[in-house]
C-alpha cells in the first residue's frame, strides 16, 4: 500500500515520482523504459515561441542541473551545453523579445560575427543566430536511464510492469499486466500518448491528436553545437562518437499505439539529410533512424488536472514536441498539486475544462 502510485516511466512520470520522494512521500513508479521520452531527439532549449513554455524550460534546466550536479556528464548523457537558432531578421527580433520577457540570457550574431564562432555552420548574409548558453542536449535514452537510477536512489519503488486496469475506490487498486496488483491512496497517470486510450476506457474523453515523429543519427566530421534551423525547418544536436541527432519537422497521424514506434518513411529521411546538408559542410553518413509518439492538444498547451469525478487521481498529457524540456518542471508542479502543496487553481490554464467547448 503506497501513498502515491505514479504510472508511466517517461519524463513526466519520473519527474513527478522524484519530486514526491524528495518531499518524503511513499511512492511506487510503474511502467517500462519504452517511451517517447527515451526515443526523443534530446534537445532542451529556452528558444521556444511562448513565454510560459520558456519559463517552464528555465525551471526544468534548474532542476536538471541540481539533479545531475554530482554525476559525470557521460553518466547523465549530456552531449552539449548551449544552443543556437538560425532565423531571418524578423523572426530573430521576435525571439529576442520573448527571451527578454522571460528574463533569459542570450546573444545574437549576424552572419559575419557568427562564422568565426561556429565555422562549421553555413549561414547566409541576411540570417541571424541567437545563442542561449544555458540550454543542454542529451542522449535521451541514457538520460531517462539516469533519471530511473536517481528515482531508485531517492527511494522510489519501481514496478516494471504495465497497468492493465485501475479499480478506483477509497484505496485505488492498480491491476498489473503480468502479475499482481498495487494499492495507493493517490494515482498519477503520466501515460503520454497512451493517455487518451486509457482514459477513454473509463469514459473520459480528452481532445488530443497523436502524431508519430521521426529522428535520425548521422556520422559527421565536425564537432557542432545543438541548433535549430528555423529558415528551412530542422533541428540537430551533437550525439556520442561524432554523430548528430535530429530531423526535419516531419510527423504523421498515428492513432493506433502499435504505430507509435514505426519505422519512418524513407522520404522523411532523405528530406532530413537534405536539410542538414544546407547547414553543414563536410561528410555526412546515415547511421540509424527511429520514431516515437507525440500527443498534442488543440491549443498546444499540456493538460494537467485531476480525473473528472476523482479528486485523488491526476493526469498529465499533451507535452507535444517539447516534452523532454517542459516535462521536468510540469512533473514537479504535478507532484506539488497532487500532494496538496499547491492548488489546482494555480494551473487553471492547463486544466481540461479550458477545452470543454471541443467535446
| Shortest Å distance, C-beta 126 to ligand FAD | 27
Record the cell numbers describing residue 358, joined without a space: 471541443
DSSP 121: B
Give the sign of the dihedral formed by CA 119, CA 120, CA 122, CA 123.
negative
CB 305 within 8 A of CB 352: yes
Q: Is 85 in the site for ligand FAD (CB under 6 A)?
A: no
Considering only the stretches 47-55, 124-132, 185-193, 346-354, report the one whose residues sit in contact with ligand FAD under the rule CB under 6 A. 185-193
Give the sign of the dihedral formed by CA 320, CA 321, CA 322, CA 325.
positive
CA–CA separation, 99 vs 59, rounded Å? Answer: 14
Q: What is the x/- site pattern for ligand FAD, positions 316-345, by CB under 6 A?
A: ---xxxxxxx-x------------------
Q: Is 296 in the site for ligand FAD (CB under 6 A)?
A: no
Q: Is 104 in the site for ligand FAD (CB under 6 A)?
A: no
Q: Is 11 in the site for ligand FAD (CB under 6 A)?
A: yes
Three-state DSSP at 32 gives: coil
Q: Is 130 in the site for ligand FAD (CB under 6 A)?
A: no
Minimum CB distance to ligand FAD smaller for 109 or for 138: 138
76 contacts: CB under 8 Å, gap ≥ 6: 68, 138, 142, 143, 146
Minimum CB distance to ligand FAD smaller for 32 or for 185: 32
Record the cell numbers describing residue 111, joined without a space: 552572419
CA–CA separation, 167 vs 165, rounded Å? Answer: 7
Pairing relationship of beta strands 226-229 and 303-306 according to DSSP bridges: unpaired
Minimum CB distance to ligand FAD smaller for 14 or for 231: 14
Considering only the stretches 37-45, 124-132, 225-233, 350-358, report the one whose residues sit in contact with ligand FAD under the rule CB under 6 A. 37-45
CA–CA separation, 106 vs 96, rounded Å? Answer: 8
Minimum CB distance to ligand FAD smaller for 13 or for 239: 13
| Shortest Å distance, C-beta 116 to ligand FAD | 27
Q: What is the x/- site pattern for ligand FAD, positions 140-169, by CB under 6 A?
A: ----------------------xx------
Q: Is 41 in the site for ligand FAD (CB under 6 A)?
A: yes
| Shortest Å distance, C-beta 135 to ligand FAD | 11
- Which of 5, 27, 43, 307 is the binder for ligand FAD (CB under 6 A)? 43
Q: Is 32 in the site for ligand FAD (CB under 6 A)?
A: yes
Residues paired with residue 121 on neighbouring β-strands, in sequence order: 280
CB 28 within 8 A of CB 156: yes
CA–CA separation, 118 vs 131, rounded Å? Answer: 11
Q: Is 210 in the site for ligand FAD (CB under 6 A)?
A: no
Residue of 192, 198, 187 whose CA lies nearest to 165: 198
Q: Is 215 in the site for ligand FAD (CB under 6 A)?
A: yes
Minimum CB distance to ligand FAD smaller for 109 or for 210: 210
Could you tell me where the DSSP H helices lie in 180-293? 195-200, 266-277
Residues that bind ligand FAD (CB under 6 A): 7-13, 30-32, 34-37, 39-43, 162-163, 190-194, 198, 213-215, 291-292, 294, 319-325, 327
Amino acid at each position: 500500500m503506497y501513498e502515491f502510485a505514479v504510472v508511466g516511466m517517461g519524463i513526466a512520470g519520473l519527474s513527478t515520482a522524484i519530486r514526491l520522494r524528495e518531499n518524503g512521500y511513499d511512492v511506487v513508479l510503474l511502467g517500462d523504459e519504452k517511451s517517447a521520452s527515451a526515443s526523443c531527439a534530446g534537445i532542451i532549449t529556452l528558444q521556444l515561441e511562448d513565454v510560459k513554455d520558456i519559463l517552464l524550460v528555465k525551471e526544468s534546466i534548474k532542476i536538471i542541473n541540481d539533479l545531475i550536479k554530482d554525476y559525470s556528464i557521460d553518466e547523465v548523457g549530456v552531449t552539449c551545453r548551449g544552443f543556437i537558432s538560425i532565423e531571418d531578421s524578423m523572426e530573430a527580433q521576435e525571439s529576442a523579445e520573448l527571451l527578454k520577457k522571460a528574463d533569459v540570457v542570450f546573444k545574437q550574431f549576424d552572419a559575419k560575427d557568427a562564422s568565426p564562432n561556429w565555422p562549421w555552420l553555413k549561414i547566409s548574409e541576411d540570417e541571424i543566430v541567437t545563442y542561449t548558453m544555458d540550454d543542454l542536449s542529451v542522449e535521451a535514452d541514457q538520460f531517462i536511464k539516469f533519471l530511473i537510477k536517481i528515482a531508485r536512489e531517492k527511494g522510489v519503488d519501481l514496478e516494471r510492469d504495465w497497468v492493465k486496469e485501475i479499480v478506483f475506490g477509497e484505496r485505488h487498486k492498480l491491476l498489473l499486466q503480468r502479475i499482481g496488483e498495487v494499492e495507493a491512496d493517490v494515482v498519477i497517470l503520466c501515460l503520454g500518448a497512451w493517455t487518451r486510450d486509457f482514459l477513454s476506457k473509463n469514459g473520459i474523453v480528452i481532445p488530443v491528436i497523436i502524431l508519430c515523429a521521426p529522428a535520425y543519427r548521422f556520422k559527421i566530421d565536425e564537432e557542432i553545437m545543438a541548433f535549430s534551423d528555423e529558415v528551412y525547418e530542422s533541428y540537430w544536436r551533437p550525439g556520442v562518437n561524432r554523430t548528430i541527432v535530429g530531423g526535419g519537422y516531419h510527423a504523421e497521424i498515428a492513432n493506433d499505439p502499435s504505430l507509435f514506434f514505426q519505422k519512418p518513411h524513407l522520404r522523411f529521411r532523405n528530406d532530413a539529410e537534405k536539410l542538414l546538408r544546407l547547414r553543414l559542410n563536410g561528410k555526412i553518413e546515415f547511421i540509424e533512424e527511429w520514431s516515437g509518439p507525440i500527443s498534442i492538444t488543440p491549443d498546444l498547451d499540456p493538460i494537467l488536472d485531476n480525473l473528472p469525478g476523482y479528486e485523488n487521481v491526476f493526469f498529465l498529457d499533451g507535452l507535444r514536441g517539447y516534452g523532454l524540456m517542459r516535462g521536468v518542471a510540469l512533473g514537479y508542479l504535478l507532484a506539488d498539486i497532487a500532494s496538496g502543496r499547491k492548488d489546482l487553481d494555480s494551473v487553471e490554464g492547463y486544466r481540461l475544462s479550458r477545452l470543454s467547448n471541443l467535446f
